Amino acid sequence: MALLADKHLVDVPGFRAQGVWAQIKKKSRDVVLVVGPPGTVGAAVFTQNAFAAAPVLVSREHVKGGDVRAIVCNAGNANACTGEQGLKDARAMAERAARHLGCKPRQVLVCSTGIIGRPMPMEKVLAGIDACAKELDSAEGPEAAEGITTTDSHPKHAFARVTVAGRTFHVAGIAKGAGMIHPNMATMLAFAVTDAPVSAADLDAQLRQAADATFNMITIDGDQSTNDTCAVLASGTEGGPRLKPGTPEMDAFQHGLRTVLRELARMIAGDGEGATALLEVRVEGASSLQDARAIARAVAKSNLVKSALHGKDPNWGRIVAAVGSCGADVDPGRVSVRFESSAGSVPVLRSGEPIPDVLQDAAAVLRPREVRILVDLNLGPHAAEAWGCDLSEEYVTFNSAYST
By annotation, the residues acting in catalysis are 187
Binding mask 278-307 for a copy of itself (x = CB under 8 A): -----------------------xxxx--x
- Specify the residue, 251 or 394, whose C-beta has the smaller distance to a copy of itself: 394
Tell me which of 143, 204, 221, 263 binds a copy of itself, using CB under 8 A.
221
Asked if 224 touches a copy of itself (CB under 8 A), the answer is yes
d(CA 141, CA 8): 5
Residue 338, classed as helix, strand or coil, is strand
- Provide the minimum distance between the beta carbon of 351 and a copy of itself in the complex, in angstroms, as a whole number: 10
Q: Which of residues 99-138 bind a copy of itself (CB under 8 A)?
A: 116-117
Cα torsion 305, 185, 106, 141: sign: negative
- Provide the minimum distance between the beta carbon of 188 and a copy of itself in the complex, in angstroms, as a whole number: 13
The rounded Cα 44 to chain-centroid distance in angstroms is 12
- Provide the minimum distance between the beta carbon of 404 and a copy of itself in the complex, in angstroms, as a whole number: 5
Q: Which of residues 48-87 bind a copy of itself (CB under 8 A)?
A: 48-52, 80-81, 83
Contact 108, 137 (CB under 8 A): no
| HSE (side-chain half, CA atoms, 13 Å) at 381 | 0
Contact 256, 1 (CB under 8 A): yes
- Specify the residue, 34 or 377, whose C-beta has the smaller distance to a copy of itself: 377
d(CA 227, CA 223): 12
State in Å, rounded, how far the first CA of the chain is from the last one: 45
- Specify the residue, 65 or 222, whose C-beta has the smaller distance to a copy of itself: 222
- Specify the residue, 280 or 390, whose C-beta has the smaller distance to a copy of itself: 390
- Specify the residue, 133 or 298, whose C-beta has the smaller distance to a copy of itself: 298
Tell me which of 75, 145, 211, 330 binds a copy of itself, using CB under 8 A.
330
Strands 278-286 and 229-234: unpaired
- Catalogue the E-assigned strands of 82-217: 108-115, 156-164, 167-176, 189-194
Instruction: Give the binding-site size for a copy of itself (rule: CB under 8 A).
Output: 66
Asked if 402 touches a copy of itself (CB under 8 A), the answer is yes
Segment (H or E) for 90? helix 83-101
Angle at 83 between CA 186 and CA 120, to 5 degrees: 65
- Specify the residue, 123 or 331, whose C-beta has the smaller distance to a copy of itself: 331
Sheet of 382-389: strand order equals 353-354, 344-350, 336-341, 370-376, 278-286, 382-389
- Provide the minimum distance between the beta carbon of 193 and a copy of itself in the complex, in angstroms, as a whole number: 29
Tell me which of 359, 364, 374, 383 binds a copy of itself, using CB under 8 A.
359
Tell me which of 96, 266, 293, 310 binds a copy of itself, using CB under 8 A.
310
Asked if 357 touches a copy of itself (CB under 8 A), the answer is no
Taking each helix axis from N to C end, the angle separating 303-310 and 289-301, rounded to the nearest 10 degrees, works out to 60
d(CA 80, CA 361): 48
Asked if 367 touches a copy of itself (CB under 8 A), the answer is no
In b/e form, how buried is each residue of 130-147, taking b as 16+ CB within 10 angstroms? bbbbeebeebebbbbbbb
From the list 4-12, 26-34, 151-159, 220-228, the region that binds a copy of itself by CB under 8 A is 220-228
Tell me which of 170, 176, 266, 318 binds a copy of itself, using CB under 8 A.
318
Positions in the binding site for a copy of itself (CB under 8 A): 48-52, 80-81, 83, 116-117, 184-186, 221-226, 301-304, 307-318, 320-325, 327-328, 330-332, 349, 352-354, 359, 363, 390-393, 395-404
